[in-house]
Each structure stands twice: as C-alpha cells, then as structure tokens.
C-alpha cells in the first residue's frame, strides 16, 4: 500500500491473518485476558482460600459483579463488544465443571443492575452535561462534578442479608465484587463512595462474611482505596485487586480464582492506611491552582520507607503481591562491570503450583549532603512460568550512574547528577519490604559528577521541601524568568516548480520542500486539521497544494478509542496501573504491538498513548491511565509499550509532559516543584522513554510547571527534552488548551491540537514577534514525523 494511502482514502483493508479483521479479534481478546491476569494483585489469602477447589460452590455478590468496570472514563475508555464481567467469567468455569454458581444471587444482581440503569436514565441523573464528565467545562462547579463521581455509587449496594444467609447454605465461598470508577477531568474525593467504602458496602461485607465459611473480595477499582475494613477482618479470607482489567477482566478474575493462572502481580503503588498519610494530601485536597510539591522526592514508597515513623502508615507496601506458590532466591551475586551493576540469582519455585515471580532490585545510597530515600528501585524482571521445583537463573543490570542524585542547589555541584561519596548497597527481593542484602557494595571513594546539566524549569514559589529525616529545608523564592531560544532558518531553496510532499527524499530535500511553503501555510501547518476517519481527535498536518496528508490521531491508553456510535468495537486492554503491576515488559510490548495493529487497520497514524504521569496522590482522577508512583517502573513500562507500538510504524504520543498529577482545574493548575524532584521523579519516566524507545511524539500537558504552561516552556520542551535528552520527535499540545500559540511555537511545541491559531501566528510574524525560522523548525519536526510512516 502507498505511504499515505490509509490516511488519505481510509480503505477498509483488514490486516489480520487470512484477510480477517484484527480489531477486537479473538487473539487480541485473549491477549487482553492474559495481560489482565498478570497484573491483578492478590493481597490476602488466609488459609489458602484461593485457588478455589475444583467443583467449589460459589455465590456472587456485589452490584459490580454485573456493573463491572472494564476501564475508566475519558481518553482511557474504550468501546468493545463481547466484554466479560465477573459473572461471565465464572459461567465459563462452570461450563468446564470447575465451579458451581449459586444462581439466585446472580439473577438478583443482574435484574437489579438492569433496572437501576433504567431508573438512572429515566431520571436523567447525569444532569445537563450529558454523559461525559471529562468534557465538562471547567466552569462546572466542583460540587456538581463530585456528584458525577457518585456514578461509583449511583447504583447503591442493595441489602442482601437474607439472601446471603440462604446462599450460605448452598455455597461455601462468597465472592463480593466492589467497583470504583474515576475519569479524566475530575479528581477523586476522600469520602465514602469513593476513597472509602460506603455504609452499604461495609454492611454487604459484614452480612456476607459472617454467614459464609469463606469470603473473597474482588476490587474492580480505578486506584488505591481504603482497605481498613477488610485487611485485618478475619471473616474476609482473600482479597484480589483486579483494577479495571479490560474487556476480558471477568474471565481473568475467574482464571485466577480457579487456579488456572497463579497470581503474579505486584503493587505499583503503596497502599497506605489512610489517604491522609500520603505526604501530598494537604496540598492535593485543599489547593486548586498552586500545588506545592513540598514532599519533593519523597513520593510513594520513597516517603513511606524513609521518613521516620511513616512505615507504620503502610497497609500494603510497594512491590507486594501474593502467589499460590512460593519461591526461593538463592546464589545472589552482584558486581560492577563497565559502569553497570549486574545482579544474578537463581529463583526456584519451591511450592506446589506453577507460577511467575517478580525479582525486584533496590539500592540504598549514602545520605551525604543531598539526602536520599532509604530504598529506590533499580531494576526488575519477571521470571518465566516456573513449574514446581523448576529454577531460573535471572540476570539484571542497571547503570551505576542511575544511582546518582540531582543537586539543584549546588550543595556539591549545582545542576549536576552526583554519586555522593560512600557505600551503595544492593538488595534483592519481591517487595520493598521483603529483601535480601546482596554481598556486594558499590563504593564511591569521592563525590562523582555523573552528568553536568543546566538549571531548567526553576521554581520561584516553592518555599520549602522535605528532607529524608522528615524535616523541611527552606528554599529561596525568586522571580519568574522566561527565555526562548533562537531558531535559525533552515536555508532551504524553493524550487521553480511546486514539488509535492511525496517527492521529499527523492526529488527534493525536506528543507527545500519547507522553503516552498508560504508563511501562511507554515502558520496553518502548526495547528491540527479537521477530523477524518473513525476516531474523534482530529489530525496532524494537511496542505492540499503540496499534497501533505492529514494524519489521523486517536486515544489511548485503554485501547483504540472509537466512539460507540461509529460501531467499530475495539479491544479494551487493562488499565495502565494493572499493566504496571505485571512488572512484565515483554507482555506490555505485545499489548502495545497488538493495539497498534488495530490503530493501523483503522487508518489512524498516531495513538495518543502511553500516559505516564506519576501517582503523586491516590486521589488523582486519572491514576488508572498512569502506571505507578515509581518513575523507573513507569518509564520502563512506557518504553516497552512504545517499542511495541512503533514496531508497527504507528506513532505514539507519550503524555502528559509533565508533572500533570491532578485533574481539578487542570488547565490552570500550577505544579510547583523543585528541579530535583522534577529530574528524579516527574521527568524520569519520560527520560527513560526518550532514551530507550524514541517516541515519535510527546504530548505536553494542561498544567503549568513552575509558573509556565508546559506547552510554552522552552526550558522543558527544548532545553531538557531536545537539548539534554536528544529527543528527535515532535511535540503536540494536549487537546483544546488556549495557551499563547506564539509562545508555544517559540518553545518548541510543534503542533496545537485539535486546531491551531493561524491568525495569531500570522499577526505575530507581521509584528516581528515571531520569525519564519521558528515556524520552520516546528514544521520540519511535523513533516519528519510524517516521513516515518510506512
């Protein structure tokens, strides 16, 4: 097929085997199911309640058994057909003789959910803004948005105490599914029905668990919730975090509960005993416009494992997750070679089920002058499926310099990464709390500067930040300074006759091609063009005179997002947090590759995924779209996904760059964060992606960063992204921001979506506030992207 044929003519040409469609195909649904079962995390399994015995009688409870959440809302939602909820999953197992379902509770919940949905529709409980919370204008009152969140509990848990007693005479095991929805555009609330259980949910757990011999809770959740009701509750025997597991999520849950798959997911976030224990809490719940990241680098486990006394606030630590089998880690060997720390060990399955284990390597660094987290993840690897008694020798490595810290104040050397003098210990285990110290120490004899950088994105309103002993150091505040670099003209020469874009590389160089574009055409090109095709997020590019195609984009990350009214069901993949909990880069690569095939088959060129903002607070409404509180895990997972997607010659758009960890007033919210926390936490995942996976595009974010909109930040988009990290791709804005288009072009934000502000740019050219060379630089990056498509 010709280079841009798919974009131009939108043909219906399937790319699956034997000429069949691959979008939503059986193979993809099965991969979605496999991925779902790899990232679910077993938190509790008293007396080996799970796996269920063959033929076990079970009763299903909880409205989420049927009102199941396959994904969250916003760009991270998807339309699929043939979805499998928890009931569907167990029906499959019943047909195989693995369980017997007590039908009465299932019949009751199915009818109840259907009639409640009818009621909600007829009473128009979703209000005047229609169904899509994420597209609500910012002017909508927070309270009104918060009512929306009660979608979580719009269908309340009914009283089933009598039915539970009756069911317990038939079945030994009750399986309660609890759900939590969240969406782009709104944050979660630390209230009952969101972070906390409702009274009705607590009553459900109590009514059921006191009459059943065994009660299993399935958490079909968008992010961390309060676990205190059931973590120590002796009547609750097992708890599985299933996240929002994609279209085959119910089947994956049944796979795990029936023992067809041994759970191997590990938490990508710390579950604290209360939302108030997260160090971002005060600022996150009370501030809307100026978020001061006072906790600095002490995010997630870096806080809970370091700050004195914080360890007691943890319910389930980072990296934690149970298996049906047990593993031993033997012959742990670590050494340094060529600037890398190599860790090798033998992992043996010492139990009686087949299973996979996640090996996690952490380091500690000397406190020195900068102060350090007690432990930091350095590398991880999931084993293959090990049969009982089977062993695998695993080798992992990481660069010595990745243990360095960023000195933003010049305590040792300003704007440099420094390996402070002293001993660095290496630990190996299967959670941040279950580690063996390797018999090896890396010693820095003196302070070593591993990288000299430049001061960028400097905060001027951050008054203090947390240190490793829990105290705060005062910071000096200053004035906002703005700088835009100078672009020189590409120096192309316009040919005498007009040469079309298809001929670039053959008859004309890209610079000469751009030289034949008029100023107006350049101004048009740096704005998105009207939507074509099946998705709804508009296109990059388009110039009819010069035959530049328009390249359609579509969301991510849950799958290829095509609206239901277009009647093209696609595969819903598990949410990003679940994928991160798999700690399985190969699996994520496969998910990315399969997703990209659906994107290609539907004639779209750019998939607006992955999203890798850091889980700073459990209350961020988009956490389900993001991977983790840890930047290494986020970066590695995103890089694996990017490699998978781009292997199909589909562009990614790694988003939202950067420090976009809150949804409330997201267009105006300023993330005020130290350079160190930026470098070590909020930018690190993006840095890993850029250096390891070369994303073809990056999406700047809605929020401001230290007083500047990220799409207007030269420091961020040119200084750090391009000059320091050598990013060679294109930058797009997030959709619909009203930031200054002239500043965006100067900053290196190449395209404004979903449409541009050509008139403002033309005016700026006329006024001398913008140079043709600035526009040429952006257009060159846009067209270079187009040349990568096959």
Residues known to be catalytic: 734
Cβ-based neighbour number of residue 137 at 10 Å: 7
The three-state (H, E, C) secondary structure of 131-193, written as one string? CCHHHCCCCCCHHHHHHHHCHHHHCCCCCCHHHHHHHHHHCCEEEEEEECCCECCCCCCCCEC
| Contact call for residues 152 and 37 (beta carbons, < 8 A) | no
Q: Which CB atom, from 501 or from 735, has the smaller least distance to ligand BGC?
A: 735
Q: Which CB atom, from 237 or from 660, has the smaller least distance to ligand BGC?
A: 660
Q: Which CB atom, from 284 or from 735, has the smaller least distance to ligand BGC?
A: 735
Compute the least distance from the CB of residue 591 to ligand BGC, in Å: 18
Of 471, 270, 271, nearest to 377 (Cα)? Answer: 270
Site membership for ligand BGC, residue 675 (CB under 6 A)? no
Q: b vs e for 640-655, b when ≥16 Cβ sit within 10 Å of the residue's Cβ?
A: bbbbbbbebebbbbbb
Compute the least distance from the CB of residue 699 to ligand BGC, in Å: 7
Compute the least distance from the CB of residue 451 to ligand BGC, in Å: 31
Site membership for ligand BGC, residue 752 (CB under 6 A)? no
Torsion (CA) 755, 759, 761, 762 in degrees, nearest 10: 140
Q: Is 261 helix (H, G, I), strand (E, B) or coil?
A: coil
Site membership for ligand BGC, residue 75 (CB under 6 A)? yes
Q: Is 619 helix (H, G, I), strand (E, B) or coil?
A: coil
The residues, any chain, with a CB within 8 Å of residue 219's CB and separated by 6 or more, are 178, 180, 225, 239, 240, 241, 242, 243
Question: Residue 266's beta-bridge partner residues?
Answer: none
Tell me which residues in 345-384 interact with ligand BGC (CB under 6 A): none
| Strand arrangement, sheet containing 422-431 | 376-382, 358-364, 422-431, 434-444
Compute the least distance from the CB of residue 607 to ligand BGC, in Å: 10
Site membership for ligand BGC, residue 620 (CB under 6 A)? no
Among 64, 206, 402, 537, binds ligand BGC (CB under 6 A): 537
Q: Which CB atom, from 75 or from 105, has the smaller least distance to ligand BGC?
A: 75
| Contact call for residues 328 and 429 (beta carbons, < 8 A) | no
Compute the least distance from the CB of residue 753 to ligand BGC, in Å: 7
Contact string (CB under 6 A) for ligand BGC, positions 145-184, x = contact? ---------------------------------------x
Give the number of residues in contact with ligand BGC, rule: CB under 6 A.
8
Tell me which residues in 177-236 interact with ligand BGC (CB under 6 A): 184
d(CA 177, CA 155): 14
Q: Which CB atom, from 267 or from 579, has the smaller least distance to ligand BGC?
A: 579
Q: Is 605 helix (H, G, I), strand (E, B) or coil?
A: coil
Q: Which CB atom, from 184 or from 255, has the smaller least distance to ligand BGC?
A: 184
Q: Which CB atom, from 75 or from 543, has the smaller least distance to ligand BGC?
A: 75
The three-state (H, E, C) secondary structure of 354-401, written as one string? CECCEEEEEEECCCCCCCCCCCEEEEEEECCCECCCCEEEEEEEEEHH
Q: Which CB atom, from 215 or from 664, has the smaller least distance to ligand BGC?
A: 664
Distances (CA, A) of 40 to 218, 356, 413: 10, 13, 43
Compute the least distance from the CB of residue 183 to ligand BGC, in Å: 11
Among 208, 608, 681, 716, binds ligand BGC (CB under 6 A): 608
Compute the least distance from the CB of residue 492 to ligand BGC, in Å: 32
Compute the least distance from the CB of residue 378 to ligand BGC, in Å: 30
Q: Is 552 helix (H, G, I), strand (E, B) or coil?
A: strand
Among 98, 315, 597, 655, binds ligand BGC (CB under 6 A): 655
Among 68, 79, 735, 786, binds ligand BGC (CB under 6 A): 735
Compute the least distance from the CB of residue 657 to ligand BGC, in Å: 11
Tell me which residues in 544-573 interact with ligand BGC (CB under 6 A): 555
H/E stretch holding 15 reads: none
| Contact call for residues 470 and 308 (beta carbons, < 8 A) | yes
Of 527, 499, 524, nearest to 512 (Cα)? Answer: 499
d(CA 274, CA 285): 13
The residues, any chain, with a CB within 8 Å of residue 430's CB and separated by 6 or more, are 266, 319, 327, 329, 357, 358, 359, 360
Compute the least distance from the CB of residue 620 to ligand BGC, in Å: 13
Q: Which residues of the chain form contacts with ligand BGC (CB under 6 A)?
A: 75, 184, 537, 555, 608, 655, 734-735
């Amino acid at each position: 097929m010709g280079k841009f044929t798919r974009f131009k003519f939108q043909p219906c040409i399937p790319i699956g085997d034997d000429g069949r469609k691959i979008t939503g195909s059986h193979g993809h649904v099965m991969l979605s199911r496999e991925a779902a079962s790899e990232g679910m995390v077993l938190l509790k399994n008293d007396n080996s309640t799970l796996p269920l015995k063959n033929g076990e009688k079970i009763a299903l409870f909880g409205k989420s058994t049927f009102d199941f959440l396959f994904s969250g809302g916003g760009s991270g939602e998807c339309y699929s057909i043939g979805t499998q909820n928890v009931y569907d999953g167990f029906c499959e197992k019943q047909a195989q003789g693995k369980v017997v379902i007590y039908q009465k509770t299932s019949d009751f919940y199915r009818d109840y959910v259907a009639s409640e949905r009818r009621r909600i529709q007829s009473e128009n409980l979703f209000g005047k803004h229609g169904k899509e919370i994420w597209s609500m204008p910012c002017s909508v009152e927070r309270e009104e948005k918060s009512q929306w969140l009660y979608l979580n509990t719009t269908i309340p848990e009914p009283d089933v105490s009598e039915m539970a007693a009756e069911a317990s005479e038939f079945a030994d095991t009750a399986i309660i599914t609890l759900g939590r929805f969240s969406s782009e555009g709104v944050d979660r609330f630390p209230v009952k029905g969101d972070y906390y259980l409702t009274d009705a949910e607590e009553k459900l757990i109590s009514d059921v668990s006191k009459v059943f011999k065994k009660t299993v809770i399935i958490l079909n959740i968008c992010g961390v919730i309060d676990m205190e009701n059931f973590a120590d509750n002796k009547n609750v025997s097992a708890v599985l975090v299933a996240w929002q597991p994609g279209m085959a999520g119910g089947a994956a849950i049944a796979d795990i509960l029936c023992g067809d798959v041994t759970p191997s997911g590990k938490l990508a976030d710390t579950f604290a005993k209360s939302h108030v224990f997260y160090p971002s809490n005060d600022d996150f719940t009370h501030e809307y416009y100026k978020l001061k990241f006072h906790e600095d680098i002490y995010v997630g486990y870096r806080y809970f494992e370091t700050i004195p006394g914080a360890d007691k606030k943890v319910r389930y630590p980072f990296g934690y997750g149970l298996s049906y089998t047990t593993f031993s880690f033997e012959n742990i060997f670590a050494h340094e070679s060529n600037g890398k720390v190599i860790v090798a060990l033998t992992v043996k399955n010492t139990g009686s089920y087949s299973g996979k284990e996640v090996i996690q390597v952490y380091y500690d660094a000397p406190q020195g002058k900068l102060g350090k987290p007690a432990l930091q993840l350095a590398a991880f690897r999931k084993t293959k499926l090990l049969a009982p008694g089977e062993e695998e020798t695993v080798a992992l490595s990481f660069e010595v310099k990745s243990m360095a810290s960023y000195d933003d104040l010049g305590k040792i050397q300003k704007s440099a990464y420094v390996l402070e003098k002293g001993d660095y210990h290496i630990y190996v285990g299967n959670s941040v709390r279950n580690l063996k110290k390797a018999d090896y120490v890396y010693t820095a004899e003196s302070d070593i500067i591993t990288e000299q950088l430049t001061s960028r994105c400097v905060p001027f309103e951050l008054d203090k930040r947390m240190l490793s002993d829990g105290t705060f150091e005062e910071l000096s505040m200053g004035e906002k300074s703005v700088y835009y670099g100078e672009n020189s003209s590409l120096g192309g020469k316009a040919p005498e006759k007009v040469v079309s874009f298809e001929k670039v590389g053959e008859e004309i160089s890209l610079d000469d091609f751009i030289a034949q574009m008029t100023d107006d055409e350049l101004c048009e090109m740096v704005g998105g063009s009207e939507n074509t095709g099946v998705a709804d997020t508009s296109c990059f590019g388009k110039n009819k005179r010069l035959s530049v195609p328009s390249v359609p984009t579509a969301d991510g990350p849950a799958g290829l997002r095509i609206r239901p009214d277009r009647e093209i069901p696609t595969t819903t993949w598990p949410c990003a947090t679940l994928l991160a909990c798999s700690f399985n880069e190969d699996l994520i690569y496969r998910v990315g590759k399969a997703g990209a095939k659906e994107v290609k088959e539907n004639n779209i060129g750019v998939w607006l995924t992955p999203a890798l903002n850091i889980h700073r607070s459990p209350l961020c409404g988009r956490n389900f779209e993001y991977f983790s509180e840890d930047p290494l895990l986020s970066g590695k997972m995103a890089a694996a996904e990017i490699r998978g997607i781009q292997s199909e010659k589909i562009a990614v758009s790694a988003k939202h760059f950067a420090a976009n960890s809150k949804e409330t007033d997201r267009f105006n919210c300023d993330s005020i964060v130290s350079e160190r926390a930026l470098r070590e936490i909020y930018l690190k995942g993006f840095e890993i992606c850029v250096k390891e996976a070369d994303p073809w595009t990056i999406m700047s974010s809605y929020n401001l960063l230290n007083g500047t909109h990220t799409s207007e930040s030269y420091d961020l988009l040119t200084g750090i992204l391009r000059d320091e990290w050598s990013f060679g791709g294109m930058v797009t804005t997030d959709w619909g921001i009203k930031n200054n288009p002239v500043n965006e072009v100067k900053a290196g934000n190449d395209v404004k979506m979903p449409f541009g502000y050509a008139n403002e740019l033309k005016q700026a050219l006329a006024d001398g506030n913008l140079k043709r060379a600035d526009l040429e630089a952006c257009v060159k990056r846009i067209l270079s992207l187009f040349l990568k498509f096959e």
